[in-house]
Amino acid sequence: MESKARITAIGTYIPEKVLTNADFEKMVDTSDEWIVQRTGIKERRIAADDEYVTDLCENAARNLAKNFNKSLDDVDLILVATVTGEYKFPSVSSQLQARLGLKNTGAIDLGGACAGFVYGLHMANGLVTSGLHKKVLVLGGETLSKITDYTDRTSCILFGDGAGAALIEYDAENPGFFGFHMGTKGEGGRHLYQTGLSTKMGGEELTNPGKLVQNGREVYKWAVSGVPKGVKKLVEEANMTMDDIDWFIPHSANMRMIESICDRLDYPVEKTLTSMATAGNTSSATIPLAFDFGLQENKVKDGDTMLLYGFGGGLTECGIIIKWDPKA
């Protein structure tokens, strides 16, 4: 189905508190050199004790409205990608509806982890293109610091907090979505999880209840092997090549992983936008943060073609190709 939707605005928010690599040298057996060499992360933002995902997402939405002079009053659906909502229910999206004062809108949370924001964009495109909705607000937000085990030196150095928002509107004359690809490897879910009502998965006992647990080696192997294949399928099905892509925005898991993916795609890492250096791995928020950082640094220009690719917990992956043309 040919798209009839496009992204017309984007906004982000990161907390004020900063955790540097020097801070982690005091917590666990690590060093700034070791962290930068293996992850590319120099610092990450951490939510205050009384600051939660809904707070971060609200600020991102308000920044979007302010920076692009957009009214959100007629938004008819809110989609929030998060795995760290402060409540099991009510949802983050329903709390946002109340805070933003939106009178006629649906509210749904998505549990797509690191692929969640791109899944949200994909769903918004489908719903707007079909005519079921006219204006959808998609957000990705996390407070991973609240579920991070700060005694686990292999994972605690990675994660931070943040939120991003995008507005998707109906536009049959200047559509901005040009293809998608998604995939799932559910049997790999045991390599990246947080326990909930059960502490078993596939008959195996899970460790560290309530905290984020990651088998970095297995996730790395899956990502550097599977993501390039998914990206190639995406551009082929869109009748494009990687030469048509002005900017590649993968999930900012760590820089070494992204370099490996770009190498397998024969795509210059210089044309890749990331957010991990200053914000850490923020799961569903990494892609909108990287997108906005690119705008702030005057890298992304109107008319640019961009490939967004989320991958992680599930294990799930989702990619889309968009044209950034907010003034079309």
* Coil, helix or strand at residue 295: helix
Tokens representing 103 are: 């009178």
Distance CA 222, CA 145 (A): 24
Distance CA 246, CA 195 (A): 39
* Coil, helix or strand at residue 200: strand
* Torsion angle defined by CA atoms of residues 273, 278, 283 and 287, in that order, rounded to the nearest 10 degrees: -20
Active-site residue set: 114, 251, 281
Between the alpha carbon of residue 6 and those of residues 120, 136, 249, 308, the distances in Å are 13, 10, 17, 14
Determine contact, residues 256/86, Cβ cutoff 8 Å: no
Distance CA 31, CA 233 (A): 39
